[in-house]
Chain A
Amino acid sequence: MNGDKRSPAALIIGLILLIYGLVLKRHDAAIPPGYLLDVATYLKTTKEVVTQFSVAIWSGAIITFFGLWNLAMPSMNSKFDKMVRTPIAGVGTIIFLAFITRYYLEPIFKVWGKNAEPNLGFDFAATFGLNYILLGIVIGIIWVNTIGIPKWMQSGVKTARLAMKMGVISLGAMYSLTELRYMGSLSIVMVAVFVLGTVLFVLLLGRIMKTPRPLTGVLSAGLGVCGVSAAVAAAPVVKARGIDMAYSIGMLLLVGVVGLFTFPTIGRMVGMNELQFGAWAGTGILNSAQVAAAALIFDPKTIETLKVAEIFNITRILFLPVIVIVLAIWFAKGEEEAEVGKINIGRVLVEKFPIFVIGFILMFAFSSTGIFTPKNYELHGKNFYNFVPEEKKEVRTRDLKKVQELIDSGNVTNPEVRAAVEKLIADRQVTTTAQTDLVLKASDFTDDKKLKDIFKDADKKVQATPPTIKMMREYMMWFFAFGLIGLGMQITWQTIRQAGGKAAVIGVIAGFTKAALSFLICWLFIKGTI
């Protein structure tokens, strides 16, 4: 750390971002279209040029500022230095990578995928889900396992975890009470079954294969609850040794990564919807951060899958103290010197209680006061609506004619529905939440697909997400993209290769069984959407 106290890295990164933003902006203005805009047009990212510009300029400016400061004055060990000045170079690099993956790599693969379709028979970009989340993780993994993380970037990469937490807390604002209740109750049932089931299964496997008890204990926590962090939490109560940790963490990381890349593809191939996949990922994927990753790889556009998956993830985390206690008892029973160490359990409960979950709940409570929803907007179900009369929300005249024909035919037998549709014709657009539900029901009274589309469209036209929520979603996604690139950077071959021996066998068997069983349950028994 001595050599880089005056590292120019942050300055360089900051300037790159700043210059990029400025070049982008310059070509966005009336000056003749420039190279970057042409690229954006080819990649179909022109709509996002504005976002790119803001993020690039702001982050570029801030990082350049710190970069100059870093160059001028060496970093002391003050808290501010450690928390802001030292990591800033790494933070900037990850932001830069997030840019590249989101606005260049993903669109490029999209274009290539489409172009390759005639030859290959399928669009490889779509099938493998090559979105920027996935690409970010992959880049992180490749980077750390080839070049390695340079010293000046190291503390920046560690902020990835903070970013993930901020993302999850902000996500709390996106739920409605009904959603939370439904997803919550579903998750408690599934998580309870699978966590306890897997833990017991692994303990059983351990007994059959005669693995050392500390190793079995750590593996069961890791495979059953939430991966690596659970394993470490359980370590003290089962007297795990260095070699147990090495084997199990390596194994957990390996199984986790395999799951991370296979789950979304499988989910997509069988056509799971957001609820099903969110539940599956939330149950079957081992490590906490990887659950969010899988959900976002499956569905980076809407955040519905992420919402489901995170509820399951949080439920799992909350089960951890329970499992630690269970394992402590199990271990003590098998030992001759019954040193249960009750102090450890208490400390685990206190230490392990995730404050960020409290943050999530607080954010949810905060948002359910309606504070994020401006005057003209209403939250109804999972969509926001804005009923203020506007020409662009009106149904087309010739479509209204068709609707009138339906009314005249007398086929709409439900009086409420008929009244709603008649009001739609009169106002030319939907005006209340109750009305929109009824209008959608009108589809049941006709077989004409065009009519059904008209009704669906009328509902869609009045849907509008308030700018507050839009902005939150946007920066939340940046947090997740950032955090997941950092996640990729911490998946090292060096750690994976520690996996070995019986731990590997147990891990594969239990991991696969858990994934398969949860898949079947989610796919076959979870119906309906959110």
Chain B
Amino acid sequence: MAEEKAASTEQKEMEERALSVFASERKEDLTALIIAFALALLVIFTLK
């Protein structure tokens, strides 16, 4: 019983390892884009 649990957590661990913080690369790219633009806008509004 304990072994089956061990096996399934291993499986999950392996999948988690393949995934990074983002579920997909698209999302990561979009997040990068959004944050970069948000920062740019912030800079414009505060420093210009």
Contacts and interface: CB of A to CB of B under 8 A. Distances in A.
Instruction: Check if A and B associate.
Output: yes
B21 A83 contact: yes
B40 interface: yes
Contacts of A356: 29, 32-33
A355 B37 CA distance: 14
Interface size class of B (residues with CB under 8 A): 20 to 34
Nearest to B29: A355
Interface string A352-374: 00111011001100100001101
B35 A471 contact: no
Interface stretch (A165-173, A278-286, A298-306): A165-173
B44 interface: yes
Contacts of B31: 162
Nearest to B24: A351
Most interface-central of A83, A87, A351 (chain B CB within 10 A): A83
Contacts of A359: 29, 32-33, 36-37
Interface string A166-182: 10011001000000000
Given A155-B20, A162-B32, A355-B26, A371 B44 contact: yes
Contacts of A173: 40
A471 B32 contact: no
A374 B36 contact: no
Contact of A158 (B13, B20, B32, B36): B20
Contacts of A363: 36-37, 40
Nearest to A467: B47
Most interface-central of B31, B32, B47, B48 (chain A CB within 10 A): B32
A332 interface: no
Contacts of B44: 371-372, 468
Interface string A338-352: 000000000000010
Interface in A462-480: 466-468, 471-472, 475
A82 interface: yes
Contact of B43 (A87, A165, A166, A471): A471
Contact of B33 (A161, A169, A371, A472): A169
Interface string A448-489: 000000000000000000111001100100000000000000
A211 interface: no
A161 B29 CA distance: 10
B1 interface: no
Contacts of A366: 37, 40
25 contacts: A1-B16, A82-B21, A87-B21, A158-B20, A159-B21, A165-B29, A165-B32, A170-B36, A173-B40, A355-B26, A355-B30, A355-B33, A356-B32, A359-B29, A359-B37, A362-B37, A363-B37, A363-B40, A366-B37, A466-B47, A467-B48, A468-B43, A468-B47, A468-B48, A472-B40
Top 9 closest pairs, chain A to chain B, by CB: A355-B29, A165-B32, A359-B33, A169-B36, A158-B20, A467-B47, A356-B29, A166-B32, A166-B36
Interface of B: 13, 16, 20-22, 25-26, 28-33, 35-37, 39-40, 43-44, 47-48
Interface of A: 1, 82-83, 86-87, 155, 158-159, 161-162, 165-166, 169-170, 173, 351, 354-356, 358-359, 362-363, 366, 371-372, 374, 466-468, 471-472, 475
